[in-house]
Amino acid sequence: MKNCWICLLLCFGISNAQQLRQRTVTLMGSRFDFAIVHESGEKAEAYIDTAIAEIERIENVISEWRPHTEVSKVNRNAGIKPVKVSKELLDLTERALYFSKISDGAFDISFASADKIWKFDGSMTELPSVQKIAESVRRIGYENIRINRKRSTIYLRKKGMKIGFGSIGKGYTADKTKQLLISKGVPSGIVNASGDLNSWGAQPDGSPWNAAISNPLDKNKVFAVLSLDLHTAVVTSGNYEKFAMIGGKRYSHIINPRTGYPASGLASVTILADSAEKANGFSTAIMVLGKEKGLELLAKFPELQGILVSDEGEIHTTANVRLK
């Protein structure tokens, strides 16, 4: 439900005591960027290997595309029976339901149940019918996800219902990988999971990590540089990479799970938080909610920072945003 364009702005004054090692790989079907600071370049490379292994482990829990995963088993048993799952998946699902509740369903992991009637590969020439759109979301509804914490089970009440973590899964992965590397004594680094970015420590010269956010109306230009000294995670959701042009109008690939229609009004939403999962949940929900309701939601969480860009290029921010 999102496209993110966030790049790192790295310093060049690297001391002899600390080395910066970077690597870009494809994981979970997406681009992952790693930046690890360590006094030993060899160890830094080994830690990146550790990070990759952790991400592959998580994918084997939460992927809806791999048939052997816990999520796939939950989906296969929708409308049939509850499925016993790990505490990890139970907790992640519970947090996802929290985002659904606070956003009144603008965020919904059961969006995976939707019929794929919108095409964003250039092949669509006309809008789906009103009936098809209504039918496409008939199995969506976070209210039909049942968690039994005592038995550690997840049950989807409707036959054919599915859950998926394309919305917060990469943010969760960035957070978990960061926690693992910190536990192993890595002093500083960044995990950028296709735009779901989490950082810790500082650059080799002691300065904070910085993230550059692309202009949603011109992705070749940067419209904001954010210092990650107060918040360690930043996520941008946007509609400017994948869309359909029909009758001269642009339709976003970000679909409102309650209506089945593409979200409109906002070109991008950037959230800074203490975790990429949290930032992702809010950015996804606000893209659907729109400017007014999005800012109202953010006002309830003053610890977050938010930057909203309208389809017309107007920039709206929370009061605590500091742009460079």
pLDDT value of residue 9: 54
Distance of CA 182 to CAs 51, 196, 200, Å?
A: 11, 18, 8
Total domains present in the chain:
1
Query: Is residue 85 assigned to a domain?
Result: yes
Q: 1 pLDDT exceeds 50?
A: no
Query: Smallest Cα–Cα separation from 90: which of 67, 74, 106?
Result: 74
**pLDDT > 90? residue 17:** no
Please determine, for residue 11, whether its predicted confidence score (pLDDT) is greater than 60. Answer: no
- For residue 197, which of 243, 237, 253 has the smallest C-alpha distance? 237
Residue 23 lies in a domain: no
Please state which of the ranges 13-22, 69-78, 126-135, 176-185 shows the lowest mean pLDDT. 13-22
Q: What is the pLDDT of residue 7?
A: 55
Does residue 4 register a pLDDT over 90?
A: no
CA distance 191 to 178: 7
Share of the chain above pLDDT 70, in %: 94
Q: How far apart are CA 43 and CA 50, in angstroms?
A: 10
Q: Answer yes or no: is 315 within a domain.
A: no
How remote is the C-alpha of 273 from its chain's centroid? Answer: 12
Distance CA 204, CA 16 (A): 9
User: Is position 292 within any domain?
Assistant: no
In a domain, 255, yes or no: no
Among 162, 192, 5, residue whose Cα is nearest residue 93: 162
pLDDT in tens, 22-66: 999 999 999 999 999 999 999 999 999 999 999 999 999 999 999
Alpha helix segments (H runs only) across 126-225: 130-136, 169-183
Task: Output the pLDDT for position 200.
Answer: 96
Q: What's the pLDDT band for 14 if we cut at 50, 70, 90?
A: very low
- Return the SS3 of 136: helix
Per-residue pLDDT tens over the stretch 138-161: 999 999 999 999 999 999 999 999
Residue 246 lies in a domain: no
> Residue 6: its pLDDT value, please?
52
Using one digit for the tens of pLDDT, what is the confidence trace for 258-277? 999 999 999 999 999 999 99
Q: Is residue 150 part of a domain?
A: yes
Region of 206 please: left (phi>0), alpha (psi -120 to 50) or beta. Answer: left
Chain centroid to Cα 18, Å, comes to 31
Nearest-angstrom CA–CA distance, 83 and 153: 5
Structure token pair of residue 16: 């002899």
- The partner residues of 225 in beta bridges, in order of sequence, read 212
Query: For residue range 75-133, what is the model confidence (pLDDT) as tens digits?
Result: 999 999 999 999 999 999 999 999 999 999 999 999 999 999 999 888 999 999 999 99
Which tens digits make up the pLDDT trace of 192-235? 999 899 999 999 888 999 998 888 888 778 888 888 986 799 99
**In this structure, is residue 189 part of a structural domain?**
no
Beta bridge partners of 244: 251
The yes-or-no verdict on residue 241 having pLDDT over 90 is: no
Checking if the pLDDT of 15 tops 60, the result is no
pLDDT at 2: 45
pLDDT at position 224: 82
pLDDT at 255 over 80: yes
Contacts of 285 (CB under 8 A, 6+ apart): 99, 102, 103, 106, 107, 294, 297
What's 119's domain CATH number?
1.10.3980.10
Rounded CA separation 196/200 (Å): 14
pLDDT of 137 strictly over 60: yes
Tokens of 301: 């969480």
Please provide the average confidence, as pLDDT, over all residues in the chain: 92
Domain that includes residue 101, residue range: 70-156
Residue 324 pLDDT level (bands cut at 50, 70, 90): low
Residue entry with tokens 């904001």:
224
